[in-house]
Amino acid sequence: MKRYVRLFLCLCAMMIATAAVGQTAKYQDLYKVKKKDTIYGIAKKYNISIDELLRANPVMQKPDYTLKKGDQLIIPAPEEQQAVKPAPTVAASAAKTPAKAKTEAGGTVRIGVMLPLHNADGDGQRMIEFYRGVLMACDSLKAQGISTSVHAWDVPIDANVQTTLADDNAKNCDLIFGPLYTKQVKQMGDFCRRNDIKLVIPFSISGNDVATNDHIYQVYQTPQQQTDAAVNAFVERFKGAHVVIVDCNDTTSNKGIFTSALRKRLEAVGIGYSITNLKSSEAMFAKAFIPTKQNVVVLNTGRSPELNVTFAKLNGLRATNPKVRISMFGYTEWLMYTKVYLDYYHVYDAYIPTSFYYNPLASKTANLERSYRRWFKSDMRQALPRFAITGYDQAQFFIRGLHKYGSKFVGTKQQSTYVPLQTPLKFHYVQGGGMQNGAFLLVHYKTNHTMESITY
């Protein structure tokens, strides 16, 4: 199995994510080119045609390509061994289809990936990186005695989903990652329910099929769910504090949803707050703070320019009132500004609510990024969260769970078998439906220049 996982990784590195099936083609070997090798000789050695070898290795199709010692080549199985079975007759179609084998604890975990796996646009490029993370997880788990089999399908936004689902390999999966697009969820969800397959929706969608389909695992949390979690965490952590809400005059901001919900809760539980404005004078700004209490500053925007001005105002406040205690409660977007504002985050005891946390300095994260660079000859995309690590975390979580619990795995906190590198997963039941991820974090930048990640 390890050989095939590595083949899949190299396949992904060469961007073989074409218009149909990504990994349902068969590959027999990964060959390292020797000094005197020729294309003809390699093809003959493996009993394949030159055309078959070139199709499996798109880099060889470039006009200026020259075979070099050390090149890694995918060796496909001869095409006659991959021939598609003829369509069944009417009589054969009427026969009962054998039931899918039950997911057994300790057995091979059968994985499907149904995402846009192509290089035509940003969606496809991001999903290829996610897919690479899944494959890296499979490779890692093999060393721990956990066997996997993986099939992948390119499912772009205009795909005929029924054609994808008609592949015999689809119904034999224990787990499918996908889709990316809301309009494809119902067809995949219905298919997974009929065939007893867990459908993991890894990214944001606008539908709510998780409320009606018990085979759906929805990782994405809606803005309302995230707002509720942030308000709950805030009130729990700052019961004795005074809250300072700063109007930043940002007409493009949608953070008023959070500050409005927070004010209602503060009033309900009796926590005092004041409102000031970023354009206020230094004296008026200072009046919003209470010297004898911890003051928690909340902005009504997540943008960097207003955050920068706020730090300047707080520096001025501290200069004239050095004993005033200040903490800040921000937004997930603040994680993108860490390189610029890290020192300020520590100085002002910042808390950032989020559903993920990427720490490039953590040894396991750094090791994974090095492995990614070694396998795919490129760095992960500069995005938060990292797509490859997202795929890695989700695959580790579900594969480990299915391997340990089999069909009884549902992904609750009590069944967790994996510590994530970036994205925690803690699923809970949605009444009448499937499972929704409810994991929530507060990333805390302490004044002693250490950090902690507080999981709820």
Q: What is the mean pLDDT of the chain?
A: 87
Work out the average pLDDT over 119-145: 93
Give CA–CA dist 420/147, Å, rounded: 20
pLDDT in tens, 185-239: 999 999 999 999 999 999 999 889 999 999 999 999 888 999 999 999 999 999 9
Q: Which two tokens stand for residue 114?
A: 């149904």
pLDDT above 70 as % of the chain: 88
Under DSSP, is residue 237 helix (H, G, I), strand (E, B) or coil?
Answer: helix
Helix intervals (H) in 143-239: 161-165, 168-171, 185-194, 223-237
Determine what percent of the chain falls in helix, strand and coil, rounding each to the nearest 5.
40, 15, 40
Q: In 3-state terms, what secondary structure has residue 164?
A: helix
Are the C-beta atoms of 136 and 368 separated by less than 8 Å? Answer: yes
CB 317 within 8 A of CB 324: yes
- The whole-angstrom separation of Cα 308 and Cα 324 is 20
Backbone angles phi, psi at 114, to 5 degrees: -120, 85
Phi-psi bin for 68: left (phi > 0), alpha (psi -120 to 50), beta? beta
Rounded Cα–Cα distance for residues 295 and 272 (Å)? 10
| Of the candidates 428, 77, 373, 73, the residue with the CA atom closest to the CA atom of residue 219 | 428
24 pLDDT above the threshold of 70 = no
What does residue 77 show for φ and ψ, rounded to 5 degrees?
-70, 150
Q: How far is CA 299 from CA 57, 175, 229, 245, 338, in A?
A: 52, 41, 17, 6, 17
Query: In the structure encoding, which two tokens stand for residue 195, read together?
Result: 């065939």
Handedness of CA 360, 362, 365, 369 (dihedral sign): positive
pLDDT of residue 46: 85
At 45, the pLDDT band (50, 70, 90 cuts) reads: confident
Q: Which two tokens stand for residue 50?
A: 């030159």
Instruction: Give the mean pLDDT of 95-116.
Output: 79
Q: In sequence order, what are the residues at sequence separation of 6 or more whose Cβ sits closer than 8 angstroms to the Cβ of residue 164?
A: 114, 153, 155, 170
Average pLDDT over residues 439-453: 95
Q: Which of 421, 419, 418 is nearest to 360 (CA)?
A: 421
β pairing state of 242-247 and 273-277? parallel
Dist. CA 128–CA 119, nearest whole Å: 8
Contact 100, 74 (CB under 8 A): no
Residue 323 pLDDT: 92
What is residue 21's three-state secondary structure?
A: strand
What is the predicted pLDDT for the residue at 91? 33
Q: What average pLDDT score do residues 151-169 get? A: 93
- What pLDDT is recorded for position 28? 58
Where would I find the beta strands (DSSP E) of 139-184? 148-154, 175-177
Q: What contacts 419, CB < 8 A, 6 or more positions away?
A: none
Q: Which pLDDT score, from 0 to 100, does residue 52 have? A: 81
What residue ranges define each of the domains in the chain, with the CATH number in brackets? Answer: 26-81 (3.10.350.10), 109-221+363-439 (3.40.50.2300), 224-354 (3.40.50.2300)
Spatial contact of 348 and 330, defined as CB atoms under 8 Å apart:
no
252-290 pLDDT, tens digit each: 999 999 999 999 999 999 999 999 999 999 999 999 999
Specify the higher pLDDT residue, 120 or 328. 328
Cα–Cα distance measured from residue 372 to residue 195, given in angstroms and rounded to the nearest whole number: 34
Query: How far from 320 is each of 33, 306, 324, CA to CA, in Å?
Result: 70, 22, 9
